[in-house]
Amino acid sequence: MKKNYVLGSAFVAALVLGVYFAMTPKSSNLMGPSFGAANAAVSGEADTSAVVDMVMGAEDAPITIIEYASYTCPHCRSFHQGAFQNLKTDYINTGKVRFTYREIYFDRYGLWGSIIARCGGQDKFFAISDLLYTKQSEWTKGSPAEIADNLRRIGITAGLSQDAVQACFSDGQKAQNLVAWYEKNRAADDISSTPSFVINGIKYANMSYAEFQKILDAQ
């Protein structure tokens, strides 16, 4: 899935602010703390160093893979439900590969998915990511408010409390940090489509598991 990744400041602001207007419960007062956090998120300085990479696999693995993907990308869903499962069994779990997942934001819903995936920290990130891909055709449907509710349910299904989910969606600074972090990574690795992979420093487009095996076994 190819997208134009040139984001203006207005679009970045819309991504961040969109979290609050859709995620804040209908009974909340928009002039209260959540509204203030939204304004701070757009006007404050982003800190990309506050965003941690989500990784799995041995630290001393001889091969490193960075995947760039979006939770709203159908090709990414296909990869995670297919080739990634084999990759995890044959290479990650056996200590051959250190795998890093980095989010790409095509739209605000991809950002929202990232926020809920990261809400449980490293321990729950990949389990929540699996749910987001498995249920992609369900949670991405409906109005922004309905999609927000769908994501809340996914978070709670994964073991997060309602308070924890709301706190994550009310963290304006984190949302802005994530958008800036995404832009920095996208530019650094020249990412123009998803899923994309950086294997030991070399960029590759989406590929079959057989192609992955050929590349990895040659390392």
Query: pLDDT (tens digit, 9 = 90+) per residue, 192-214?
Result: 999 999 999 999 999 999 999 99
What lies within 8 Å, CB to CB, of 42 at 6+ separation is: 12, 13, 16, 17, 172, 176
Q: How far apart are CA 80 and CA 11, in angstroms?
A: 28
**CB-facing half-sphere around the CA of 191: CA atoms within 13 A:** 28
What pLDDT does 42 receive? 45
Scored b (16 or more CB within 10 A) or e, 38-63 reads beebbeeebeeeebeebbebeeebeb
Among all chains, which residue has been given the structure tokens 């602001």?
Answer: 13
Degrees, nearest 5: CA angle 58-62-63: 90
For domain 9-217, the CATH superfamily is: Glutaredoxin (3.40.30.10)
Query: pLDDT (tens digit, 9 = 90+) per residue, 97-110?
Result: 999 999 998 888 89
Counting residues of the chain whose pLDDT is more than 70, the rounded percentage is: 80
Q: How many CB atoms lie within 10 A of CB 29?
A: 9
pLDDT band at 161 (very low <50, low <70, confident <90, very high): very high
pLDDT band at 43 (very low <50, low <70, confident <90, very high): very low
**CB-facing half-sphere around the CA of 131: CA atoms within 13 A:** 20
What lies within 8 Å, CB to CB, of 201 at 6+ separation is: none
Query: pLDDT (tens digit, 9 = 90+) per residue, 122-157?
Result: 999 999 999 999 999 999 999 888 888 899 999 999
- Determine which helix (DSSP H) or strand (DSSP E) holds 54, and give its type and residue range: strand 54-56
